[in-house]
Structure 1
């Protein structure tokens, strides 16, 4: 399945206290899994910078990933960006194939 990076920045009004992070995470992830059952969360990371979270996700297609992003935006009160990603071995294989075409 294709790999995607999902960057999430929470709106300031999304959280009122530290324990709200876990409550919000459970609620949003349940909505995403309900609406996008073929999506697979590979890993999640908290960030210290302009983004709050970085998730690595496998999804069957861009439509599924976009649906997940829209759910995070609406239920998570957040801004998101989706970046398609290619595993490094696959990228190197593509480069080798290009070199053979020259």
Structure 2
């Protein structure tokens, strides 16, 4: 299964109070589970810098990965940048 990192930058309109973010994450997660069954959520990280969130997912279905990124954009009023990732150990093994 391919690994992807979806980098997201939340819009200031995404929530009024930071506590609202607690509900946003489960809402997005459930919508992706329902609409993108070929996408497996591995982990999420808050990041400091240009992006607010880094989500790590796995999927062999590029169309469903694209759909998941669109769900994040719509629900989180966010911009997203999906990147395909390769585990460092796997990359080194190919050299």
Per the normalisation by structure 1, the TM-score is 0.86
Task: Output the CA distance in 2 between the equivalents of 1:65 and 1:24.
Answer: 19
CA distance in 2, matches of 1:87, 1:19: 33
* Corresponding position: 1:71 with 2:52: no
Structure 2 CA distance for aligned equivalents of residues 89 and 50 of structure 1? 27
How many residue pairs get aligned? The number is 95
Contact 2:39 2:61 (8 Å CA) reproduced: no
Runs of 4+ with >6 A deviation? none
Q: Which residue of 2 aligns with 1:54?
A: 54
Q: Distance in 2 between matches of 1:82 and 1:34?
A: 20
Residue ranges of structure 2 left out of the alignment (5+ in a row): none
Root-mean-square deviation (Å): 1.1
Q: Which protein has the larger Cα radius of gyration, Structure 1 or Structure 2?
A: 1
> How far is 1:5 from its partner?
0.4
TM-score, normalized by length of structure 2? 0.92
Provide structure 1 residue ranges, at least 5 long, that are not aligned to the other structure: 96-102
Q: Between Structure 1 and Structure 2, which shows a larger proportion of strand residues? A: 2
CA distance in 2, matches of 1:16, 1:6: 23
**CA drift at 1:78:** 0.5
